[in-house]
Amino acid sequence: MYRKLLPFLLLILIVASCSFPEEFGLPSWETTFHMNILNDSYNVLELAEEDSALVAMGDTLGFVKSDSESVSIELDPTGAVSEDKEIVIGKIEINEPEPKQTEITIQEMVEEHGLFVPGLNSSMNGQPVMVPSFELEDIEKGFDKFEEFQEVHFSSGYLDMSFTNNMIFWLGSVDGSLPFTATLKGVYTDGTIQELISLDFPQGIAPNGGVVEYNNYDISGMVIPDSLRMIIHGWSDGTAGNVEILDYYAGLDIEVDFEDFVIDHAVAPIPAQAIDDSVEVEVSDEYEIYEATIEEGEYFLNLDIENQIDLNINAEVYIDNIYDPTGNSYETSFTIPRSQGGTSYFQKDINLAGFSVGDGSEPVQIVKIDFYTYTQDTEDEVRIIDANDKFTVHANLQPLDFAYINAVISQEQDIDPITGDIEIDLDVETEGDFEMVGASQMKLDISYGNSKIPARLELNLTASNNEGETVELIEYSTGNAPIIGIPAQSNFTIIKDFSDYNLNEILSIIPTNIQYEVDPIVGGIGSEAAEFYAGDTLYADIEFSSKIDLATDSWIIPQEDGEPQTNEEDVADFDQDIYDTFKNGRINLKYINTTGVDVKAEILISATENDLVQQLYQFENPDTTKITIISIPYLETTNETMEKQVEVKQTDLKYLLQDTAYIGSRIGVYSEQGTPLSGSVQIQAELEVQILAGDHLLDD
């Protein structure tokens, strides 16, 4: 077009002038080239995208990231506990022996034992006689056998004996000058005869109904057979010079009777008798159980009984602190067979599945098994029984799993830790001194399902970023990983703020990953009872949050889908001729900064997107052979549109000499504590270049 204007312009010049310059050419002038190179809005709330850890908290940008993990709670079951108890028969009861009597008559003394005393014969029966003194030599008379026993060993007891003299003469003498004795002997099944008791009668036994009694004669330690004999021996005063009517058939009546005895060995028919005792099985000391329901399955209380008593034993068993599914105390009955001279064995396995330990009123420390037993009557059959004969109960409480437990867990239980990784995808990167100084919080939402277990949580947490920085969570007061007490509740929330922990330091590195391990410590904590339901899950929702209250002098590079935001600009209108005739240039800025902090900006121009992205992160020593950086000074906070100009050099524009250039920006932020990051920065940048126009612009 310019070339078509040339003849017209020449004609005007010829007509208007009467002379020509020595050098003829088109005039030169200055003109302005305008090109918009930036029109961006940096809205901090727009950084809070769906996949970002930044969220909108009102009109303020906040950091929130959480993760949820769970682990099954498996309390260690009560270990197998057992108790061995020897239950001895103790006091042996036999049928009460009937008193036994015997009589030694004058007739027996004379006719069977050869006693020769003048006047003592059958022909004198009923006649008056005067009997002189005489000697009795071992006149023996037996008792009827005791039907109640064959042989017994008395550990304690007494024998009562009475002697009634129905004869006409003295036995012994009243003045003690003529001794008289009676000896009780036992005849044993093996044929041996043993003296049991020897009695002296220092005053004798008076005639005609005289009685001497020996009561409460201690027989402790004696072994007495069922066959007893009495032997009398000594002198007699006769009728002491008196004439008496002879009763030839009268005699000495003797009676023996056992009283208040305890037997520790018996060869006898044994009547039914009680043997009561109990076995106490201590529950695991890992629990102070108030109430616990045993899981369904096979959970046995094993009773293994060894019987060394030669008696059948009927047993009624009551188990204290064990309740069946109907809520009644458990009881059962069975018969333990006799030993028959050796040892008999009996086993009773009680399946406690679905049963309860304790009723919730007080802690259960023992499971008491009461044995109310009685032996079966042997009737007429003789048994050999010792008081120390025993039956031994081996009570074994197998390991128990609980479907429900209400107990003080007195020892620490091993619970698997809750572990996880929180991946953080922040659409922002920073360079420089950047701190989170706002009210950072860590929140733990803990759920035990139905369980209510007082516990402690040891929280091990490490944050890291792409620059290799790591920060571990610590409690300021201890310098250690925090241990957080959790109450006996099924669902609760624990919130910890930055005053206790170094949460701000963790978030200030702009972490890309937070690894955590929550170690539950259950048991060994105190006296607070826990409620646990089998199969429950410990669920932890860990959340970190902070309003980005900046104390910073740093760079922020907005990102989109994990990549820096860049603009591809069509700059074909800016060609070499414009560049060559550059006189001066500037960038005219229009901006609104409502972030509440001072910001600065740098415009980066490059020929390739790859070079632009690489150099966006080079804050100290950028490669200026690959990129041009145009610095924009601080943009103060404002609520209205402001304008500024930034001078540019010709060399700043070299990457515009092509069809396409890549333009990006980074924002420098400066803030002191107390200014939450909010609002936006909107910048419009127009490149204005003054060039020297001339015939070099008038081409085809």
Q: Is the pLDDT of residue 326 over 60?
A: yes
Residues 6+ apart with CB under 8 A from 506: 461, 463, 471, 473, 514, 544
pLDDT band at residue 8 using 50, 70 and 90 as cut-offs = very low
Would you tell me how many other CB atoms lie within 10 Å of the CB of residue 23?
5
Q: Which of 354, 358, 364, 345 minimizes the C-alpha distance to 302?
A: 345
Which region, left, alpha or beta, applies to residue 172 given φ > 0 means left and ψ of -120 to 50 means alpha?
A: left
Q: Which of 483, 494, 477, 492 minimizes the C-alpha distance to 525?
A: 483
pTM metric for this prediction = 0.59
Task: State how far the Cα of 514 lies from the Cα of 426, in Å rounded to an integer.
Answer: 13
Task: State how far the Cα of 292 lies from the Cα of 329, in Å rounded to an integer.
Answer: 14
Q: Are 357 and 283 in contact (CB under 8 A)?
A: yes
Coil/strand/helix, residue 12: helix
Degrees to nearest 5, angle at CA 670 with 666 and 672: 155
Degrees to nearest 5, angle at CA 602 with 597 and 603: 135
Q: Which of 673, 627, 364, 391 minimizes the C-alpha distance to 504?
A: 673
Task: State how far the Cα of 536 lies from the Cα of 452, in Å rounded to an integer.
Answer: 10
Q: Which helix (H) or strand (E) holds 612?
A: helix 609-616
Coil/strand/helix, residue 8: helix
Q: Is the pLDDT of residue 219 over 90?
A: yes
Q: Is the pLDDT of residue 427 over 60?
A: no
pLDDT, average across residues 627-655: 83
pLDDT, average across residues 368-387: 90
Q: Which residues pair with 144 in a beta bridge?
A: none
- What per-residue confidence (pLDDT) applies to 307? 94
Q: Which of 691, 696, 671 minimizes the C-alpha distance to 681?
A: 671
DSSP 580: H
Annotate 505-540 with b (16+ C-beta within 10 A) or e (fewer). Answer: bbbbbbbbebbbebbbbbbebeeebbbbbbebebbb
pLDDT band at residue 1 using 50, 70 and 90 as cut-offs = very low
**With helix as H, strand as E and coil as C, how does 320-343 read?**
EEEECCCCCEEEEEEEECCCCCCC
Q: Is the pLDDT of residue 252 over 60?
A: yes
Task: State how far the Cα of 470 lies from the Cα of 479, in Å rounded to an integer.
Answer: 16
Q: Are 524 and 412 in contact (CB under 8 A)?
A: yes
- What per-residue confidence (pLDDT) applies to 695? 57
pLDDT band at residue 642 using 50, 70 and 90 as cut-offs = confident
- What per-residue confidence (pLDDT) applies to 277? 87
Q: Is the pLDDT of residue 291 over 90?
A: no
- Higher-confidence residue: 697 or 250? 250
- Higher-confidence residue: 268 or 285? 268
Q: Which of the listed ranges 56-65, 193-202, 451-460 does the model predict with the highest average pLDDT?
A: 193-202
Which tens digit of pLDDT belongs to each residue from 123-165?
A: 999 999 999 999 999 999 999 999 999 999 999 999 999 999 9
The least confident of 107-111, 434-438, 605-609 is: 434-438
The least confident of 139-143, 172-176, 518-522 is: 518-522
pLDDT, average across residues 587-610: 82
Q: Are 366 and 289 in contact (CB under 8 A)?
A: no
Q: Is the pLDDT of residue 286 over 80?
A: no
- Higher-confidence residue: 561 or 697? 561
Please state whether beta strands 455-464 and 428-433 pair in parallel, antiparallel, or not at all (unpaired).
Answer: unpaired
- What per-residue confidence (pLDDT) applies to 58? 64
- Higher-confidence residue: 642 or 255? 255
- Distance in Å from the first CA to the final CA of the chain: 8
- Higher-confidence residue: 419 or 221? 221
pLDDT, the chain, mean? 82
CB-based burial of residue 149 (10 Å sphere; 0-12 exposed, 13-18 middle, 19+ buried)? Answer: buried
Which region, left, alpha or beta, applies to residue 450 given φ > 0 means left and ψ of -120 to 50 means alpha?
A: alpha
Task: State how far the Cα of 413 lies from the Cα of 521, in Å rounded to an integer.
Answer: 7
How long, in residues, is the chain? 700
Q: Is the pLDDT of residue 563 over 80?
A: no
Q: Which of 446, 270, 262, 294 minimizes the C-alpha distance to 358?
A: 294
Residues 6+ apart with CB under 8 A from 377: 269, 270, 271, 272
CA dihedral sign of residues 672, 675, 678, 681? negative
Residues 6+ apart with CB under 8 A from 7: none
Residues 6+ apart with CB under 8 A from 39: 683, 684, 685
- What per-residue confidence (pLDDT) applies to 432? 67
Taking the CA atoms of the chain, what radius of gyration do you get in angstroms?
Answer: 59
Q: Are 586 and 629 in contact (CB under 8 A)?
A: no
Task: State how far the Cα of 216 lies from the Cα of 159, in Å rounded to an integer.
Answer: 6
- What per-residue confidence (pLDDT) applies to 29? 65
Degrees to nearest 5, angle at CA 54 with 458 and 501: 30
Q: What are the distances in angstroms from CA 335 to CA 272, 316, 382, 429?
A: 13, 9, 20, 83
Task: State how far the Cα of 115 lies from the Cα of 108, in Å rounded to an integer.
Answer: 9
Q: Are 200 and 129 in contact (CB under 8 A)?
A: no
The least confident of 173-177, 242-246, 432-436, 466-470 is: 432-436
Q: What are the distances in angstroms from CA 543 to CA 23, 446, 548?
A: 82, 11, 16
